[in-house]
Amino acid sequence: MSARSDFQTWSFAIQQQMELALGAVLPPSDHLPQRLHEAMRYAVLGGGKRVRPLLVFAAGELVGAGAERLQYAACAVELIHAYSLVHDDMPCMDDDQLRRGKPTVHVQFDDATALLAGDALQTAAFEVLAGRTVCDEASDQVKMLKILATASGAAGMAGGQAIDLASVGQPLSLPELENMHILKTGALIRASVLLGSYCGEPLSSTERERLDRFAKLVGLAFQVVDDILDVEADTATLGKTAGKDAAHDKPTYVSLLGLKQAKQRAAELEAEALDCLSSFGERAQRLRELAHFIVHRAF
């Protein structure tokens, strides 16, 4: 079996496992309040590449973590990610009509239901992470909760989105743009890697710093490629509205650097990220493969 097909087989298996796991942790759609639960399930199930859960599992493989532990940590991250998409798509934010190839939650349901669904998905993430044993030490599980909370809040994803909204039509320097995306996109990607790393054998402080550095670089690379795809790919391929960044006059890596240099920046970030994994040997192979997938994905 080739390395490429092996990675595809591995990632597909985890995507299937996550669909079942997420379906199990979400409230059934026939339980009251039914419309809210329908919207939550609509937002989470049946779509998405599950990049963040894949990162949880890849980091977990590095530390020899069990699949059941990893799936619950991955569920928590994916529920946070789904909530952020629901809220980001709303009229008061990016006002988008399409997500994962289907109408956004506020279009399919209504604004109020979308707002509540996002709120409920956020709290469900912490319920999942707090309610299952996902690591050996209770103190480490508390650290995991703090990592996810920090990545989701004003010092992470929410703060990055606030900066993004305030930056529309404003010129940003490369450091300012990267700081925004370290928070908006990178924080949850970093949390995914760190959460997976707590589910198995302990790492040294140096090893964890290297893993965190890898995750930060991959998070930046993810956003650079997102900006490139917003220019190069079409709506049908992306499953969301193409070209919306330029239409909304948002600062992006492409608008700042140009398409060629943005691609070069993504390649540089990938190389730096892979260098962080050099001391881990074969244990980090899935993380290497994911870094390559993130930078070279076409959708």
pLDDT of residue 238: 67
Query: What tokens appear for 204 in the block?
Result: 């040294």
Beta pairing, strands 98-99 & 102-103: antiparallel
Query: What tokens appear for 213 in the block?
Result: 């550095």
pLDDT of residue 129: 98
Q: Could you give the 3-state DSSP secondary structure of residue 104?
A: coil
- pTM listed for this prediction: 0.94
Q: What pLDDT digit, counting tens, does each position of 244-292 carry?
A: 776 678 889 999 999 999 999 999 999 999 999 999 999 999 999 999 9
> Which residue range(s) make up the domain with 126?
3-296
148 within 8 A of 77, measured Cβ to Cβ: yes
**Unique residue bearing structure tokens 């965190």:** 212
Q: Is the pLDDT of residue 43 over 90?
A: yes
Q: Is the pLDDT of residue 168 over 60?
A: yes
Q: Is the pLDDT of residue 109 over 70?
A: yes
Q: Which residue has the higher pLDDT, 195 or 1?
A: 195
Q: What pLDDT digit, counting tens, does each position of 61-79 carry?
A: 999 999 999 999 999 999 9
253 within 8 A of 262, measured Cβ to Cβ: yes
- Which CATH number characterizes residue 134's domain? 1.10.600.10
pLDDT of residue 5: 63
What percent of the chain clears pLDDT 70, i.e. is strictly above it?
94
Q: Is the pLDDT of residue 195 over 60?
A: yes
| Number of domain units in the chain | 1
